[in-house]
Amino acid sequence: MNSFTYWSPTKVVFGASAVKLTGGEVKAFGGARVLVIYGGGSVVRSGVLDTVTQSLSDEGLLWFSVGGISPNPKIADVQRIVDEYKSKDIDFVLGVGGGSVIDTAKASAHGLASAEIPVVDFYTGKETVKKSLPVGAVLTIAAAGSETSDSAVLTNQENGIKRGLTTSFNRPRFAVMDPVVTYTLPRRQTVNGITDILMHTLERYFAPEPDNTLTDRIAEALMKVVIQSGIDVLENPDDYKARSELMWAGSLSHNGLTGLGQKQDFSAHQLGHALSSRYNIPHGESLSAVWPAWAIYVYRENIPRFAQYARNVWDIEYYDDNAAALAGIKASEDYFRFLSMPVSITEAVGYNAREDIKILTELCSFFGARTIGSFKVLDKDAICAIYTAAM
């Protein structure tokens, strides 16, 4: 087992009707003047937002609310929130929604704690987050894992670059997770979430120093559970067991547990960020569109690793490692197809994307300023080759 440092301080409140407990959790963590951030109409139509705000009122807390957060949140949107509420003495930020909403809540908390610093400076590396307001999360979709992670992703509209900010200040104080609230999610949101959960684990699993047997087995078990729960929940959207397994898997897939002792790759995420920034498509679709091409491009770096994935996750029994590795990649692609997820860029956004390969390459490589990945380090030419193959 390789050396690691693991810290995951988020309190998890899980189960049916857990949303009603939100106000008590905010109060327990010192909140008195709360900024509630939420997304689109579903959280309103489902009654989740009303339940949350009523629980805040029942605890005697003053709250303000900001809605309409987009699936691919922008730094400029966060800056507007900071500018509007910096004079309100906010002492707690609560995100009610999925990853985009929770990431927005995290960034807003940083901005409100240091209102003199433009939020964009944290995302360009010009400034380091040195303080933040406490953040809580009420999760409404099993997907991004932002409710227990130390990262937050936003898009800079000025240059089109979508990037993450990793800091311990991003760790929410608590996460309220009620699987029942996911029953009414549209199918597209559900399958995007399933894909995101799988990809968060795959990005950690394909590492350059895989000498961590327990970590591997945890990751493999999580992926097998997600695969079966995805099948079950598409057959019956009100399957509590399947919904609850997916919700908990989403958190475990992104709180660091499934990658302990090894580097993270996250090439598919970086490739996908350029897609979702350019075309404003859902995060999960950007990942499934590029992962098969990435896998074929890099698998020869460690064929036994891909063969292990095929055998332990997909139960593929080929004796030959190369054949098993390729079968595992195909099984993953077939599962994405089962979910009705795109497995190429043209499936995701249309054939006109072929004209944007150079633009996507520039966005992903930060205009040639960085490489991506660790399983196989990818320079600008490699990034371009993968985008070309993914078309």
Q: Is 95 helix (H, G, I), strand (E, B) or coil?
A: strand
pLDDT tier, 174 (very low <50, low <70, confident <90, very high otherwise): very high
pLDDT tier, 42 (very low <50, low <70, confident <90, very high otherwise): confident
**4 part of a folded domain:** no
pLDDT at position 313 over 90: yes
- pLDDT computed for residue 309 by the predictor: 97
pLDDT at position 114 over 90: yes
Q: Dihedral, CA atoms, 306, 386, 194, 234, nearest 10 degrees? A: -100
Last residue of a domain, one of 156, 181, 206: 181
Which range has the worst mean pLDDT, 40-44, 198-202, 254-258, 259-263? 40-44
Give the span between the Cα atoms of 181 and 16, in whole angstroms. 8
The pTM of the full predicted model, rounded to 2 decimals, is 0.93
Q: Is residue 87 located within the same domain as residue 211?
A: no
| CATH number of the domain that residue 351 is part of | 1.20.1090.10
Q: Is residue 216 located within the same domain as residue 309?
A: yes
Which range has the worst mean pLDDT, 95-104, 208-217, 353-362? 208-217
Q: Is residue 81 located within the same domain as residue 226?
A: no
Q: How far is CA 149 from CA 8, 54, 255, 259, 266, in A?
A: 8, 27, 5, 13, 15
pLDDT tens profile 65-89: 999 998 889 999 999 999 999 999 9
Q: Is residue 143 located within the same domain as residue 82?
A: yes
Are 287 and 276 in contact, with CB atoms under 8 Å apart?
no
**6 part of a folded domain:** no
Q: Residue 152 corresponds to which tokens in the numbers above?
A: 């937050």
- pLDDT computed for residue 208 by the predictor: 85
Which residue type, as a one-letter code, is found at position 87? S
- pLDDT computed for residue 31 by the predictor: 97
- pLDDT computed for residue 77 by the predictor: 94
Give the span between the Cα atoms of 302 and 283, in whole angstroms. 27
Q: Is residue 267 located within the same domain as residue 144?
A: no
Q: Is residue 242 located within the same domain as residue 263?
A: yes
- pLDDT computed for residue 235 by the predictor: 97
Full residue range of the structural domain in which residue 246 is found:
187-390
Kindly give, in sequence order, each residue whose CB lies less than 8 Å from that of residue 125, ignoring residues fewer than 6 positions away.
none
Q: Is residue 115 located within the same domain as residue 55?
A: yes
- pLDDT computed for residue 202 by the predictor: 97
pLDDT tier, 381 (very low <50, low <70, confident <90, very high otherwise): very high
**5 part of a folded domain:** no
pLDDT tier, 144 (very low <50, low <70, confident <90, very high otherwise): confident
Give the span between the Cα atoms of 308 and 316, in whole angstroms. 9
Q: Is residue 337 located within the same domain as residue 195?
A: yes
Count of other CB atoms within 10 angstroms of residue 90: 23
Q: Is residue 151 located within the same domain as residue 265?
A: no
Q: Is residue 302 located within the same domain as residue 372?
A: yes
Mean pLDDT score, 225-230: 98
In the chain, % of residues over pLDDT 70: 100
Q: Is residue 154 located within the same domain as residue 271?
A: no
**203 part of a folded domain:** yes
pLDDT tier, 317 (very low <50, low <70, confident <90, very high otherwise): very high
Q: Is residue 94 located within the same domain as residue 235?
A: no
